[in-house]
Every structure is written in structure tokens, then in C-alpha cells.
Amino acid sequence: MKIIGGIPLKGTVKTQGAKNAALTVMPVCLLLRGGILTLDNVPDLYDINTMIEILRDLGVEVEINRELKDPQMIFKVPDEIKWEVSETLARKMRGSSLLLGPLLASCGQISLPLPGGCSIGARPIDLHLKGLKQMGAEIDVQNGVVHAKVKGRLRGRRIYLDFPSVGATENLMMAASLAQGETILENIAREPEIDNLADVLRSIGVPVELEGTGGVRIQGVDKVHSGRERVIPDRIEACTYILAGVMTNGHIKVEDVVPRHIDAILAKLEESGAKFKVKKNTVETFPSKKRLHPISIKTLPYPGFPTDAQPQMAAALSLGQGVSTIEESVFQARFLYAQELNRMGADIKIARDVAVIRGVQKLQGAPVRATDLRAGAALIMAGLAAEGETTVDDMVHVWRGYEAIDKKLTSLGAQVELI
């Protein structure tokens, strides 16, 4: 993507459906046999298309209605589906690990090549496997492929997660839906995507009770029925645009936002002195003559500051005043973008898990490379705020998570072009 920077963004942009929520709730259809799952507000992204390919390969019929205001997908599931996931497709994204729970619960066995995804540190699935074993699955990992099977049905039980992993929580919730008896998961992730999953499971007839203290209670059922639910708005995409508005000194309104989903980010933006207004479903940014004040951030599981907004926040703080710090506590290798931002004149030093960001007056355009999805977003934002021309290479990462980012930015007055 070629970007001519220095233009304050102006206008209104609508948030897409959440990538991570959609990737989680699409595999729910595997729990249905001879039923239909309808999902509204599904974004058009590489990872979503990979999930569609995987589901189709397993035998699910997927109908896509993109012309609707809330793009819709209908998953028609036959009585019999395949339980072997294609290696080429599984390795394309981390999200393929979300097939484990529903496919195992539905078919009694699964063969899943270990998933790929962003290079942001080791991403084991030991917690997913440990939980499924506790529910009675026999699991064997050989030559990079997970083979799991269960005699009869999975068995509901009390499971404590050693870390509130988002993926493990989601997999176990889906597995528990068709298990025998009640499952109580403790120390679970409480990201908004988990609430969305709970709503989808309820829509197909699974009693799910989320508890405020980080637990969930699920009554396993013999059979689920057809259902329908809307995918929540993408909080990370929304924040990327909000931060782009702040960074370019722009006046933009981001629509279809759930403000309480991005409380941590808004709190940190407020602390840094950014000018913005929050309404029921929108966030509006305003130009400011002052640079952002230095702040300290630590990424944490929800409701803490999300790791997925960390690179974008670093880009914004690189144009701030004084020295800000960001500590990454969720993933190990999430600072690869720093050397790319530094090519544009940023001053970021990495000391183990902490990025020390010394604010600079201006950034200059440069050729840079997206090292992963959110790094790519951060570099695009930096390019929008920088003087001169920036080219962001390896855009393939960005297309995994940002629908029509070129068109959305153009509609906000940015000068961007796909090469």
C-alpha cells in the first residue's frame, strides 16, 4: 500500500463485524447436524474466507449475502460431516484451532494439523488439549497433527484454566455444549467475543450462564437446533481508526462501536490528553494542537488493555511528548513492528517485554514491511501521519483483519493506493 501522509482524516467510517468473534462463532455450526446457523455482520476478510473454505471442505454448505447492510452468512450442515481438517487450510491461520472443540464434540473424533497464524510469539494449544482431555478425550499429537477422539460423548466437568486463554475458553465452551452433564469453566477469558459466543450457543438451545467472576456454567444438551445471531462490532478495527484520527489530527466519527468494549483504550487515550467524544454507538475524534502526553501501558486479558491494540497505540505514542512505555504481558514477540517504525523516524527501544517510546516531532515516509496483522495496521497509521510517501509491504497480513482498509481510508480523505 502506498500512502502519501500528512493529511488529517475527516469523515465517518463504520466498524466491520469482529474478525475474532466471527472466527469463533462460525465453527459453532459444526455442532448442528441437519440444521442451519445464520450469522449477521460477518466481515469480508482473508481469515474468514479461510474458515469458509475449511467448513466447506468438511461438508458444510455456506451461503454468503454480502449485499445486505449487515452482511450475512448461512451455514447449512448435513447429517454427516468430515472430521479431518485439511493441512494447507489449517496452517493458514491460528483461528483453525477453534475447530477442535466443536468438531470433536460433534463427530467424536478429529484430525487437525497444528494451526499457523501471526508470528507474535509461541502460541501453544496445551490449555485447549488439557481441558478436552479432562472431558474424556484421548489426544495424541504426531508429526504436527492433533488426533483426538472420545468414546461416546464428552463428559461435562469442572475445569480450571491455568491462564484465561481466549481460544481455550471458546473451544471448551463449544465442546461442553454437546457434552454429557454440566461443565463449569473457571478462570476463563472474558473478552467480548466470549459473550458473543455465549449468545450464539444460547440461540441454538444450549443453556450458558456466564458468571461475573470469570466463570461459565454450561448444561450439555443431546441435540442443538438452528439459530441466528449478530457478530459484534470489531473493537480492534474501531480503535485502529480512532487512533488514526488522533494521530493525523483528524476529525472522524467511528460508527457501530460498543464503547464499553474499548474502555481500556479510551481511558488511556484520555490520560494521554487526546480529544474525543464518546456517544452510545460512536466515537468522534477532534484535532488538537497538543501532542499526546507520555503514558504507561501494560497489555492484559480483558478488561485490561488489549494486546491487539498495542502496536497501533505505540505508533500514536511515537508522535507524543516525552517517554511512554508499553509492557507486553500476553504474547512474547509482539514488538517486531518497532524496527519498522524506527525506519520512519520513531524512537522505540525494546528491553525484554517493554517498549520504551521516546516521542518525536514528526515521522517521515519510508518503505516498511508489515510483520504481522496489527503491526501492519500500526505502520499504515504511521504512514498516514508521516511526511511524504510510505509503502507498506506484505499487506497480506493486513487483509487478514481489515476489510477494505484502502477504501475506508480513501473515504476519510487519505491518499492511499494499492500497488
Binding site for ligand UD1 (CB under 6 A): 20, 23, 94-95, 122-128, 163, 165-168, 189, 306-308, 330-331
Q: How far apart are CA 10 and CA 79, in angstroms?
A: 51
CB of 360 to ligand UD1, least distance (A): 27
Q: Which is nearer to ligand UD1, 284 or 327 (CB)?
A: 327
Q: Is 118 a catalytic residue?
A: yes
Q: Strand 227-230 relative to strand 36-40: parallel, antiparallel, unpaired?
A: parallel
Return the number of other C-beta atoms located less than 10 Å from residue 221's C-beta: 17
Question: Which residue matches cell numbers 500514536?
Answer: 316
Closest distance to ligand UD1 from the beta carbon of 285 (Å): 24
Q: Which residues contact 213 (CB under 8 A, 6 or more apart)?
A: none
d(CA 157, CA 391): 52
127 vs 381, beta carbon nearer ligand UD1:
127
Residue 210 Cβ vs ligand UD1, minimum distance, rounded to whole Å: 17
- The least CB distance from residue 298 to ligand UD1, in Å, is 14
User: Which element (helix H / strand E) includes 343?
Assistant: helix 337-343
Cis-peptide, bond into residue 303, ω within 30° of zero = yes
Least distance CB 308 / ligand UD1 (angstroms):
5
Residue of minimal Cβ distance to ligand UD1: 167
In whole angstroms, give the CA distance from residue 240 to residue 380. Answer: 10
List CB contacts of 41: < 8 A, sequence separation 6 or more: 17, 70, 71, 72, 230, 231, 232, 233
- Count of residues making up the chain: 419
Smallest gap from residue 287 Cβ to ligand UD1 (A)? 31
Q: Nearest to residue 411, comparing CAs of 7, 94, 33?
A: 7
Q: Measured from the CB atom, is 253 or 397 closer to ligand UD1?
A: 397
By beta-carbon proximity to ligand UD1, the closer residue of 172 and 386 is 172
Task: Kindly state the smallest distance separating residue 381's Cβ from ligand UD1, in Å.
Answer: 18
Contact 384, 318 (CB under 8 A): no
- Residue with Cβ nearer ligand UD1 (21 or 409): 21
The residue annotated as part of the active site, out of 29, 107, 118, 239, is 118
Would residue 87 be called left, alpha or beta, if left means φ above 0 and alpha means ψ between -120 and 50 degrees? alpha
Opening angle at CA 287, ends 395 and 322, nearest 5:
80
- On the CB side of 312, how many CA atoms lie within 13 Å of its CA? 30
CA angle 342, 320, 255 (to 5 degrees): 100
Those residues with Cβ within 8 angstroms of residue 299's Cβ, 6 or more apart along the chain or in another chain:
305, 306, 307, 310, 326, 327, 328, 329, 330
Q: Could you tell me the smallest distance in angstroms from the CB atom of residue 41 to ligand UD1?
A: 16
Alpha-carbon distances, residue 54 vs 19, 51, 61, 88, 270 (angstroms): 16, 5, 11, 10, 42
Active site residues: 118
